[in-house]
A and B are shown apart, each in its own frame.
Chain A
Amino acid sequence: MQQPGRAAEIKANGIGKSFGSFRALDDLTLDIGRGEFLTLLGPSGSGKTTFLMILAGFVQPSEGRLFSDGVDITDRPAEQRAAGMVFQGYALFPHMSVEQNIAFPLKVRKKSATEIKRRVGEMIERVGLNGHEKKLPAQLSGGQQQRVALARALVFEPGVLLLDEPFSALDKGLRGQMQAEMKRLHQETGTTFVFVTHDQSEALALSSRVAIFNHGKLLQVGRPDEVYDRPDNRFVAEFLGEINMLPVKGVKPADNGATGLCEDRAINMRCKAEKVRGDAILAIRPEHMSIAREATAGENGIAATAVASTYLGAATKLDLTTRQGAKVTVSVPNEVAAAALRKGNSVWLTWPAEKGFLLPDGGQ
């Protein structure tokens, strides 16, 4: 968070924070790479915002050290870290014009008037606020205020940009637009972005890596496809999207994967079974399952009955009950869903061996 114009590399080493008896963050160790777009994802109270505030220097960790480019910055006050920060609700200076808001961090750094004018001009251009320079924040729309907040946080070329749920106040259309804009700004500036959200689709769409938090603990960190397709535990699996849980018995390792019995049928799995043995849960995303007329030899499948459907336009969400009573949801083409419901009785539920992953039985 030191040299302007250069993306910072951040290392959190055993960071913990307690507020009285409440443990907000517990033993967090995490490396944030140079120029990375890392999303901190979790429900409210999971510790993600606390970690962001610790990164910004607004909250002092109870234990652990924080390094930026190898330098220990744990005890450095916020104004000397100067991470760019975009707050929930933007926190613009209400008494300053758009121009003055964006110029603020440069004025603090005692830049010359000509340099301030040039860089503020460039930034206004970059976020598309031309013609609004003299307006006060109260005269702007939500999306425009958001742009001012981004411009103000980026104008002094901070090593890291911290974003605290910046889109929570925007409507859906504007949200998509601002997400695209932020991705573009990330590419253009090359700065390290640390982004806090509780919206999993936003996290998957934007980030180069996602860190999932719950109850003050970092549960998993990885690329969006990694955490989505191979979650380490049930919470991560469920938080990132809808997922089916099927009990599997007698799990044991096999050639490049594992085997087991699902509803008394032998199934193959490509996922590793080193963490689980015996009884386990097979977790599969709805879009990875499909409906077939009948069983094909050597393919994973179980019998089920369609009970309800939800039309989603591009596809239909079909709710089924397996023979042994497990509830399953699949996302299938509309005509398949209609046919399955018409049939009224048993259909065949199949999935490829490489999809799905094993979780310990009943484990969290």
Chain B
Amino acid sequence: MRGTLSDRTGAALLMAPLLLFLVLAYAWPFLGVVKWSFTLPTPGLGQYHALLTDDLVQSVFIRTLRIAAIVTVVSVTAAYAITVVWVRGSPLQRVLAEFCILVPFWISVLTRAFGWVALLSNRGLINTWLQSIGFISEPLTLVRNEFGVIVGMSHFLIPFAVFPLASAMRSLDERVLLAARGLGSSRMRTFWTVFVPMTRSGIIGSAMIVFVFSLGFFVTPAILGGGRSVMIAELIYLRIFQSPDWGLGAAISVVLVVFVGALMALVFRYVKPKQLV
């Protein structure tokens, strides 16, 4: 037991700098934000009451949840397909998939958002091309709306969705798949009834990462949404930096953090954290 104890002390010491950093950089300032939400402009629950009654705040909340949900479905589905190729494909397919997963990490989120503007805008590549082949006469509105936001966010989040899926697929016992085929199940059926259910923890982990990231997205919706599909992070920014309404901005932040915390607690009841990486 002494060994265990000193092991634990050692682990705690190694963790200490990280913990200290989290407390100083996140927990402490966040407590300040919590304080603002109850004290600005006047002490009380006024800001939380406003949250419940303010139509704008509510519609932004709902839009954020909707976009996050759609982005989650899109990203996890696309990431699933990429991961299958990455983990189970031929050596060449693996290299290509790995390239596609890693390259986006080298390009800043800002660059990528403007890249999508260049592609999707009225005089962007896609509209120009579709008009030149005569497929459409008027440009499609692909950007400065929710569609653009969803495309841009999904593109950013797919690589993050890949890792929990890859870990689930790698730990899967190959013989179970062989067993299914040996029992008469086609490749397709084996995929849907055995492979996908067996990677469930990866899907949940992946979905959670994407969903939580989506809730806090700021730059991508700000650029690709063009002010028309404001998400919650942008609303917080506007409340604090544009209108001196720190109390409301703080209250929205608190609600967002509590919501994410509750969501993670719920998911961790079904999936162990270590299954996610």
- Identify the A interface with B (CB < 8 A): 56-58, 77-85, 87-89, 91-95, 104-105, 108-109, 152-153, 156, 162
Asked if B198 is at the interface of the complex by the 8 Å CB criterion, the answer is: yes
Is the CB–CB distance between B198 and A108 below 8 Å?
no
Is the CB–CB distance between B185 and A108 below 8 Å?
yes
Is the CB–CB distance between A105 and B178 below 8 Å?
no
Binary A-proximity of B11-52 (CB < 8 A = 1, otherwise 0):
000000000000000000000000000000000000000000
Residue from the list A80, A87, A108, A156 in contact with B175, Cβ < 8 A:
A87
Residue of A nearest to B187 (CB): A79
Taking residues whose C-beta sits less than 8 angstroms from the other chain, chain B's interface range is: 10 to 19
**Which 8 interchain pairs have the tightest Cβ spacing?**
A91-B175, A91-B179, A105-B183, A85-B182, A82-B184, A108-B184, A95-B197, A78-B181
Residue from the list B176, B178, B180 in contact with A94, Cβ < 8 A:
B176
A82 to chain B, nearest CB (A): 4
Note all chain B residues with C-beta closer than 8 A to A85: 178-179, 182-183
Is the CB–CB distance between B198 and A153 below 8 Å?
no
Is the CB–CB distance between B181 and A95 below 8 Å?
no
Note all chain A residues with C-beta closer than 8 A to B189: 108
Complexed CA–CA distance, A109 and B183 (Å): 9
Contacts beyond the supplied A87-B175, A95-B197, A104-B193: 4 A-B pairs with Cβ under 8 Å:
A80-B184, A82-B182, A92-B179, A152-B183
Note all chain B residues with C-beta closer than 8 A to A92: 176, 179
Note all chain B residues with C-beta closer than 8 A to A58: 178, 181-182
A158 to chain B, nearest CB (A): 9
Known: A58-B178, A89-B175. A79 touches B186 (CB 8 A): yes
Note all chain A residues with C-beta closer than 8 A to B198: 93-95
- Identify the B interface with A (CB < 8 A): 173, 175-176, 178-187, 189, 193-194, 197-198, 200
Note all chain A residues with C-beta closer than 8 A to B182: 56-58, 78-79, 81-85, 162
Complexed CA–CA distance, A87 and B186 (Å): 19
Complexed CA–CA distance, A185 and B175 (Å): 24
Complexed CA–CA distance, A87 and B175 (Å): 7
Note all chain B residues with C-beta closer than 8 A to A104: 180, 183, 185, 193
Known: A58-B178, A78-B178. A91 touches B185 (CB 8 A): no
Note all chain B residues with C-beta closer than 8 A to A91: 173, 175-176, 178-179
Note all chain B residues with C-beta closer than 8 A to A162: 182
Note all chain B residues with C-beta closer than 8 A to A87: 175, 178-179
Complexed CA–CA distance, A91 and B178 (Å): 9
Known: A78-B178, A95-B198, A95-B200. A89 touches B173 (CB 8 A): yes
Complexed CA–CA distance, A359 and B197 (Å): 57
| 18 A–B contacts, CB within 8 A, in A order | A78-B178, A78-B181, A79-B187, A80-B184, A83-B182, A84-B183, A85-B183, A87-B175, A87-B179, A89-B173, A93-B179, A93-B180, A93-B194, A95-B197, A104-B185, A105-B184, A109-B184, A153-B183
Residue from the list B175, B184, B193, B200 in contact with A79, Cβ < 8 A:
B184
Complexed CA–CA distance, A49 and B200 (Å): 31
Note all chain A residues with C-beta closer than 8 A to B200: 95
Is the CB–CB distance between B176 and A108 below 8 Å?
no
A210 to chain B, nearest CB (A): 24
A75 to chain B, nearest CB (A): 15
Residue of A nearest to B190 (CB): A79
Residue from the list A89, A94, A156 in contact with B184, Cβ < 8 A:
A156
Residue of B nearest to A85 (CB): B182
Complexed CA–CA distance, A78 and B193 (Å): 17
Q: Chain A CB within 10 Å — which of B181, B186, B198 has the most?
A: B181
Residue of B nearest to A100 (CB): B193
Residue of B nearest to A104 (CB): B183
Note all chain A residues with C-beta closer than 8 A to B181: 58, 77-79
Complexed CA–CA distance, A92 and B182 (Å): 12
Residue of B nearest to A95 (CB): B197
Note all chain A residues with C-beta closer than 8 A to B183: 79, 82, 84-85, 104-105, 108, 152-153, 156
Complexed CA–CA distance, A59 and B8 (Å): 48
Complexed CA–CA distance, A137 and B182 (Å): 19
Complexed CA–CA distance, A93 and B198 (Å): 8
Residue of A nearest to B183 (CB): A105
Note all chain B residues with C-beta closer than 8 A to A109: 184
Note all chain B residues with C-beta closer than 8 A to A94: 176, 198
Note all chain B residues with C-beta closer than 8 A to A82: 182-184
Residue of B nearest to A56 (CB): B182
Residue of A nearest to B194 (CB): A93
Residue from the list A79, A81, A89 in contact with B185, Cβ < 8 A:
A79
B89 to chain A, nearest CB (A): 19
Note all chain B residues with C-beta closer than 8 A to A88: 175
